[in-house]
Amino acid sequence: MAQPLFRAPAGTRDLLPPESARRRRLVAVFADLAERTGFGLLESPIFEDLGVFQRLGESNDVVTKELFEFFDKGDPPRHLALRPELTASVCRAFAEHRPAPPWKIWYSGPQFRYERPQAGRYRQFEQVGVETLGTDDPHADVEVIGLGLRFYEALGMKQVRLLLNSLGDSESRPSYDAALAAYLQSRRGELSGQSQLTLERNPLRVLDSKREQDQPVIAEAPLMADFLSGESADHFAAVLAGLDSLGAAYEVSPRLVRGLDYYTRTTFEFVADALDTAQNAVGGGGRYDGLVEELGGPPTPGIGFALGVDRILLACDAEGAFAAAAAPVEVFVVDTAGGQTAAVLCDRLRQAGLGVDRAFDGRSMKAQMKRADRSGAAAAVIIGPDEQAEGAVTVRDMRPGGGQRRVAETEVVAAVAEVLEGEAQ
Ligand code: AMP
């Protein structure tokens, strides 16, 4: 009977080489920038107590509809959830460990949301991000946002725009929320059914709707900018001035609100023009001032962002940026004398720090040379019965017109190094 063919679950993907290596390289670029900006890595669990994520807000889909939740085998069982994002975990860790502020943390890893899978929208996707906890200095906002911009630049992306807004503080928000709710109620009938439901739960989130039908209503909604307290307005002006001083381009986008409820003051999104508008958000973040407290910690302001690795790579593809790198194989060992010598030589060359591959199954010289060619290696080390009888190997320069020479087996590392040095010139 035929066995069932399993596939990766809906909304998830296997990342095969070389794409998987390209991702790891992208994360390494981010890690390097973040570390040089004074951020340290936080590795937190992939699942947390459900309550950690419930603090993100009761009106957002990520928490109400998209969590992967489960009970463990404890007695009584614990109600847990796979993380849908990392800011809540960072705040939970801050509340738990109470590090000295400001606490500057970067992270990377998979997130899980039960969304409708489509291009650029997955149920398991990867983010990189930073959070600065314990300061509300606008320069911290500028540092975080600037880091995001420099990261896209470092990848060679040219079509990323920064959209910015201020969502005000606990002083300005209630009067804005009331004005917005009154306005949206007055035009309720023109909104999509979905937005009418959102309106009941959280009027602000209606502004986040991408549905065509809602756009005329959204376009005429009251603006947060007209309701900002003096303090919030000054904070926002300082953030913009800081970005100006870095020569950073941005667009103030007065109707920008973001998915999660906890944002206050600075809010921003990075948009890739190379992608379709439905999935063109390649990152976003903002300031949140109540989340650590909600998780049992002291009142602690915070600012951070999360960038979507999957979408960034799609945008890179569309822009022709950050290409997949050549395989790291520098030397290919071809052994037609039984394979034992290949094992020893591969080991020796790898210990010398080189990228080395070989063939298996006692294939013919021709088949092995074909593989050597395809590996992209600049040098081949060949051991046939003649070489073996002499305790020698043939080292071949694989570039067009490259020569070859026979050397004692003990000289193999030096001879290969010579070929590779020739290639570097
Ligand atoms: P958020 O945590 O919702 O602010 O998302 C931050 C970034 O993560 C977005 O700008 C996207 O680039 C990415 N992202 C969010 N959800 C998904 C998803 N389901 N699939 C792929 N990327 C996502």
3-state secondary structure the chain: CCCCCCCCCCCCCCCCCCHHHHHHHHHHHHHHHHHHCCCEECCCCCEEEHHHHHCCCCCCHHHHCCCCEEECCCCCCCEEEECCCCHHHHHHHHHHHCCCCCEEEEEEEEEECCCCCECCECCEEEEEEEEEECCCCHHHHHHHHHHHHHHHHHCCCCCEEEEEEECCCCCCHHHHHHHHHHHHHHCHHHCCHHHHHHHHHCHHHHCCCCCHHHHHHHHCCCCHHHCCCHHHHHHHHHHHHHHHHCCCCCEECCCCCCCCCCEEEEEEEEEECCCCHHHCEEEEEEEECCHHHHCCCCCCCEEEEEEEHHHHHHHHHHHCCCCCCCCCCCEEEEECCCCHHHHHHHHHHHHCCCCEEECCCCCCHHHHHHHHHHHCCCEEEEECHHHHHHCEEEEEECCCCCCEEEEEHHHHHHHHHHHHHHHHC
Q: Ligand 1, from 56, 107, 121, 263: best to mutate by most atoms within 8 Å of Cβ?
A: 121
Q: What is the pLDDT averaged over residues 37-42?
A: 98
Strand locations in 25-175, DSSP E?
Answer: 40-41, 47-49, 69-71, 79-82, 103-112, 124-133, 160-166
Alpha carbon distance, N-terminus to C-terminus of the chain: 58
Pocket test for ligand 1, best of 26, 127, 261 (most atoms within 8 A of CB): 127
Share of the chain above pLDDT 70, in %: 98
Nearest residue CA, atom 16 of ligand 1? Answer: 121
Residue-level pLDDT at 60: 74
**Tens digit of each residue's pLDDT (9 = 90 or more) over 370-379:** 999 999 999 9
pLDDT digits (tens, 9 = 90+) for 333-349: 999 998 889 999 999 99
- For ligand 1, the distance from its centroid to the CA atom of residue 180, given in whole angstroms, is 26
124 CA to centre of ligand 1 in angstroms: 10
Pairwise pLDDT comparison (73 vs 18), residue with the higher score: 73
Task: Judge whether 372 and 325 are in contact, CB under 8 Å.
Answer: no
What confidence score (pLDDT) does residue 351 get?
A: 97
Q: Give pLDDT tens digits for 204-254.
A: 888 888 889 999 999 999 998 899 999 999 999 999 999 999 999 999 998
SS3 assignment, position 204? helix
pLDDT beyond 80 at 258: no
What is the pLDDT confidence band of residue 177, given thresholds at 50, 70 and 90? confident
Mutation choice for ligand 1 from 125, 160, 288, 316, CB with most ligand atoms inside 8 A = 125
Report pLDDT for 324.
82
Query: What is the reported pLDDT for 260?
Result: 61
pLDDT of residue 423: 64
Question: How far apart are alpha carbons 220 and 184 in whole angstroms?
Answer: 10
Pairing of strands 40-41, 103-112: parallel
Best residue among 262, 275, 311 to mutate for probing ligand 1, ranked by most atoms within 8 Å of CB: 311
Cβ neighbours around 189 below 10 Å, total: 8
Report which protein residue has its CA nearest ligand 1's atom 18: 121
Ligand 1: atom nearest CA of 309 is: 12
Nearest-angstrom CA–CA distance, 284 and 268: 6
Query: Above 90 in pLDDT, residue 187?
Result: yes
Question: Given this model, what pLDDT does residue 65 score?
Answer: 87
Mean pLDDT calculated for residue range 14-37: 96
For the entire predicted model, the pTM comes to 0.91
Task: Tell me, in angstroms, the distance from the centre of ligand 1 to residue 308's CA.
Answer: 5
Q: Which of 192-206, 305-319, 355-369, 400-414 has the lowest mean pLDDT?
A: 192-206
CA 127 / ligand 1 centre spacing (Å): 7
Residue nearest to atom 15 of ligand 1 (CA): 308
List the residue whose alpha carbon is closest to atom 11 of ligand 1: 308
Position in ligand 1 atom list of the atom nearest CA 113: 19
Instruction: Return the SS3 of 122.
Output: coil
The one-letter amino acid code at 136 reads: D
Residue 425: pLDDT band with limits 50, 70, 90: low
Quick one: pLDDT at residue 261? 66
Q: Average pLDDT of 356-384?
A: 94
Which pLDDT belongs to residue 204? 85
361 or 161, greater pLDDT? 161
Ligand 1 centre to CA of 117 (Å) is: 12
Residue 61 banded pLDDT, cuts 50, 70, 90: confident
Query: Measuring from atom 13 of ligand 1, which residue has the nearest CA?
Result: 308
Q: Which of 134-148, 149-163, 221-235 has the lowest mean pLDDT?
A: 221-235
Ligand 1 pocket by Cβ (under 6 Å): 85, 113, 115, 120-122, 125, 127, 258-259, 281-284, 306, 308, 310-311
Report the separation in Å between the CA atom of 405 and the middle of ligand 1, taken as the mean of its atom positions. Answer: 54
pLDDT band for 290, please (50, 70, 90 cuts). Answer: confident
pLDDT at 417 over 70: yes
253 with 224: CB under 8 angstroms? no
**Cα–Cα distance for residue pair 272/2, rounded to 1 Å:** 45
Distance of CA 224 from the midpoint of ligand 1 (Å): 24
- Please give the mean pLDDT across all residues of the chain: 93
Banded pLDDT at 147 (limits 50, 70, 90) = very high
Is the distance from CB of 69 to CB of 80 less than 8 angstroms? yes
Give pLDDT, residue 106: 98
How high is the pLDDT of residue 59?
Answer: 66
The model's pLDDT over 88-127, given as tens digits with 9 standing for 90+, comes to: 999 999 999 999 999 999 999 999 999 999 989 999 999 9
pLDDT band at 325 (very low <50, low <70, confident <90, very high): confident
Which of 37-41, 169-173, 214-218 has the weakest average pLDDT?
169-173
Q: Which of 91, 256, 310, 314 to mutate to test the pocket of ligand 1 (most atoms within 8 A of CB)?
A: 310
Asked if pLDDT for residue 424 goes beyond 90, the answer is no
pLDDT band per the 50, 70, 90 thresholds, residue 305: very high
Residue 111 Cα, ligand 1 centroid: separation in angstroms?
A: 9
Expressed in angstroms and rounded, the spacing between residue 210 Cα and the centre of ligand 1 is 15
